[in-house]
Amino acid sequence: MKKVLIADHNGTCLPELEGLLEEEGIVVVPTQNGRDALAAARRDPPDLIVTDTLMPVMDGFTLCWQWKSDDRLKKIPLVFYADVTTASRYEEFTRSLGADRFIVKPQHPSLLLDMLQEAWRDREGTHHGISSSIDDEGEFLRRHNAFLTGTLAENFRHLEQAQRHAETAEEQYRLCFYNANDVFVFIDNKFTVLSVSPSVEWRLGYRPDDFRGRSIADVAHILTPESLQQALSDIGMMFTGKRVPLSVYEFITREGEHRFGEVSGSLIMRDGEIDGIICIIRDITDRRRVEDALTRSEEKFRKIFYTSPDAVSVSRLEDGMFVSINPGFTRLTGYTEDDIIGVTSLAYNIWNDSDDRQRLVDALVRDGSVSNFEATFRIQGGAIRHGLMSVSVINLDGVPHILNITRDITDRKEAQDALRESERKYRLLADNANDIIFVLDMELNYTYISPSVRSLRGYDPEEVLTQPVLETLTPASRQHAQETLTDVMNLERAGQRQFSRTLQLETLKRDGTTVQTEVKLTFIRGKNQEPVGILGVTRDITERIEAEERLKDTLELLRKAVGATIQVLGTAVESRDPYTAGHQRRVADLARAIATEMGLPQEQIDAIRMAGAIHDIGKLSIPSELLAKPTKLTDTEFSLIKQHPEKGYDMVKNVESPWPLAEIIYQHHERMDGSGYPRKLAGEEILMEARILAVADVVEAMASHRPYRPTLGPEAALDEITSYRGTRYDADAVDACIRLFRIKGYELG
């Protein structure tokens, strides 16, 4: 049975294609973007992929280029199916990326199916895929950016036409400009900045207005002197018609932080003349840091690999062929690199019991890593040695390999009796753990600490054994530990014998710096269950804390981006209807006050405020003469007005945010008894945010002037919601609203 993978972020392809293909007995695998599609294909390659063009995370163009650059996937046909205005540009560009077809929506189902089957037949007839004509990633990025900037320039030149077709053009513009992670900068031919995308605020800390209308010289402070000279040179070359490769500039944020940006630029032509340039700035600071960290990590691994006293080897999982060994391997086995590289372990009969290798491979396939795996092996000359192995699977160029660290335990195995064997295994486990394992007596003196203290604190275990345990902590952590131990001992004296505590403590290192750690403490008990010592495990949690902070920063940036988008959308709605100017703001303020009065969590309060600020965005699709009509609407006219919740939902549903903004907008005219519109939802089917917004919307509307009637006043509005409390309107929301106005003196702003 054939399988088709679909990449479509807004669901416009899925309903049409799923029904069509499933009728033909074809399995359909839907994904939301290019990255997800690529991952799904690499897990389970399809027979054909159909993709949209513009998608978040990874667009269809990047998906196509990576698809045709992947040896496993490039033979699989890739077809674009998209709604575009200038098909020739898209077809030419996607063909250069290696696409097999570019099909413009909409198509008759039978014709569309014929086109897809033709792509299959072409693939089966040639037995090879269409390759991309672009081999270099930098060239792809340049042409990809040039294509997107060309699309943006075309949108700017046809702004009036785009406004008449707002639902289509605004979506493209928003995807390419307002929702872009990269920073877009438009400069005219007089070196004046015309426009900067909102992403500049969370990338560099500046607002777009800080640049708009200013010359390049006036904003030179955002670049280091060296990068400024490079930028001026690049811009000059572009205005002379010369091609400028991707450049990396060092930017200075408003807070003075230095960040690196990869910049590409393209000319904007009008009537054969240079009208300006568009630059795209991609923040690569994190990438640079990751690359630097990777380089340091690789160097660290190389040092560990070649200086480790243990035998370290890398061999192919499939057949055990060695590809790398360290000097420790040679010392242990007697085999040198010349002897072993390119040869399998079975060829030298290294495994004393071949079943041991199969057990190891089975465990690796099942779990990905194996620790403390004991086996006997044969060294050069035929002698048998005992090894303790820590093994994991690593991928080298897409091929699974085994990283094996083997410690020779032959002497220990021969010398110790059963009791000492057990004790030494325990100590070996502690000595090789990444965490620090330690034991304290009841006077808080160290009696044992694992060697991993060297990597975490920089001390040898022998040095730590002489240190007072509380002196290894910062003052604040020392106090926290003392208070915890005091509480635990009091509980112990009271007969509560369940001591096990996990503390977050800041630990001192040899070089004077500190490290954030998580310490788990447990009593060691004697025969009579009395505490005779304390067993502790210390773990470095620095990376976890840093990751949590980065996540908080990312969420805050997302909040700011969504807030800016909401403000722009709200202004767009009110600019078309002067009679309801300020309506959305007042509804948002009242709804937020109601939610606060009800004691809802801050996340819900923020969602209500954001949704309230654009709850009538769907009125952008309503003729302005209906919005301002001074007489009563006809049934037909009112039916158009009633479409605005659904229209608003369609406009906002693809805007990424932490809140269900689109659904709240969709439901704000629903009523608890099912008498609302557009979906006749009732009771718990309606989000609490939408119920609160409905009450605020009714109160503000009745208390404000309208084209077809004067204001009815706040009391009439409060009487309305009181009369239908629990039927049309949520009882808790109504009660909170009444308290605000009649007890707390709330007034509409």
Question: What is the model's pLDDT at position 628?
Answer: 72
**Residue 166: closest CA among 664, 634, 619:** 619
Q: Which has the minimum average pLDDT: 41-45, 135-139, 300-304, 677-681?
A: 300-304
Flag whether 48 is in a domain.
Answer: yes
Question: What is the model's pLDDT at position 493?
Answer: 80
Residues 62 and 80 in one domain: yes
Residue in the structure block whose two tokens are 């372990």: 345
- Residues 292-320: what's their mean pLDDT? 83
- N-term to C-term CA, the chain: 64
Residue 241, both tokens: 């018609």
> How remote is the C-alpha of 612 from its chain's centroid?
27
SS3 (DSSP) at 637: helix
Q: Would you say residue 414 has pLDDT above 90?
A: no
Q: Which has the minimum average pLDDT: 266-270, 340-344, 555-559, 588-592?
A: 555-559
Q: Which has the minimum average pLDDT: 48-57, 69-78, 395-404, 623-632?
A: 623-632
Q: Is 572 exposed, middle or buried (0-12, 13-18, 19+ CB in 10 A)?
A: middle
Residues 628 and 731 in one domain: yes
pLDDT cut 70: percent of the chain above it: 88
- Distance of CA 123 to CAs 18, 461, 621, 710, Å? 22, 65, 44, 69
CB atoms within 10 A of CB 290: 12
Residues 491 and 582 in one domain: no
- Residues 599-610: what's their mean pLDDT? 92
Flag whether 428 is in a domain.
Answer: no
Residue 500, both tokens: 């096990």
- Given 402, 425, 454, the domain boundary residue is 402
Distance CA 588, CA 626 (A): 24
Residues 680 and 701 in one domain: yes
Q: Is 486 exposed, middle or buried (0-12, 13-18, 19+ CB in 10 A)?
A: exposed
Distance CA 641, CA 626 (A): 8
Residue 209, both tokens: 């207005």
Do 131 and 68 contact (CB within 8 A), yes or no? yes
Flag whether 593 is in a domain.
Answer: yes
Q: Would you say residue 680 has pLDDT above 80?
A: yes
Flag whether 202 is in a domain.
Answer: yes
Residues 555 and 699 in one domain: yes
Q: Would you say residue 419 has pLDDT above 50?
A: no
Flag whether 619 is in a domain.
Answer: yes
Residue 149, both tokens: 């900037």
**Residue 184: closest CA among 173, 198, 172:** 198
Distance CA 611, CA 617 (A): 10
**Domain, as residue range, for 101:** 3-135
Question: What is the model's pLDDT at position 573?
Answer: 61
Distance CA 456, CA 510 (A): 10
Residues 376 and 250 in one domain: no
pLDDT band at 683 (very low <50, low <70, confident <90, very high): very high
Helix (H) or strand (E) holding 219: none
Share the mean pLDDT of the chain: 85
Residues 561 and 641 in one domain: yes
Residues 735 and 619 in one domain: yes
Flag whether 148 is in a domain.
Answer: no
User: Which residues, including other chains, have CB under 8 Å from residue 367's CB and lie 6 or more apart?
Assistant: none
- Residues 356-379: what's their mean pLDDT? 89
Q: State which amino acid sits at residue 587.
A: V
Report pLDDT digits (tens) over 206-248.
999 999 999 988 999 999 999 999 999 998 888 887 888 889 9
C-alpha neighbours within 13 Å on the C-beta side of residue 720: 16
Residues 721 and 575 in one domain: yes
Question: What is the model's pLDDT at position 162?
Answer: 44
Q: Would you say residue 76 has pLDDT above 80?
A: yes
CATH of the domain at 277: 3.30.450.20
Residues 561 and 533 in one domain: no
Q: How many domains does the chain have?
A: 5
Helix axis angle, 14-23 relative to 109-126, nearest 10°?
70
Assign residue 512 a region (left: φ > 0; alpha: ψ between -120 and 50; beta: otherwise). Answer: left
Distance CA 340, CA 396 (A): 19
Report pLDDT digits (tens) over 621-666.
888 777 777 778 888 888 888 999 999 999 888 887 888 999 999 9
Report pLDDT digits (tens) over 119-167.
888 777 665 556 777 878 888 888 888 888 877 777 666 555 645 554 6
Q: Would you say residue 445 has pLDDT above 50?
A: yes
Residues 554 and 534 in one domain: no
- Given 357, 384, 402, the domain boundary residue is 402
Flag whether 642 is in a domain.
Answer: yes
Q: Buried b / exposed e across 184-216, counting CB within 10 Å, b at 16+?
A: bbbbeeeebbbbbbbbbbbbbbbebebbeeeeb
- What does the DSSP assignment read for 524-579? EE-TTS-EEEEEEEEEE-HHHHHHHHHHHHHHHHHHHHHHHHHHHHHHHHHTT-GG
Task: Tell me the whole-structure pTM to 2 decimals.
Answer: 0.34
Residues 560 and 694 in one domain: yes
CATH of the domain at 14: 3.40.50.2300
Flag whether 183 is in a domain.
Answer: yes
Assign residue 306 a region (left: φ > 0; alpha: ψ between -120 and 50; beta: otherwise). Answer: alpha
- What does the DSSP assignment read for 26-89? -EEEEESSHHHHHHHHHHS--SEEEE-SS-SSS-HHHHHHHHHH-TTTTTS-EEEEE--S-HHH
Q: State which amino acid sits at residue 119.
A: A
Q: Would you say residue 173 has pLDDT above 70?
A: no
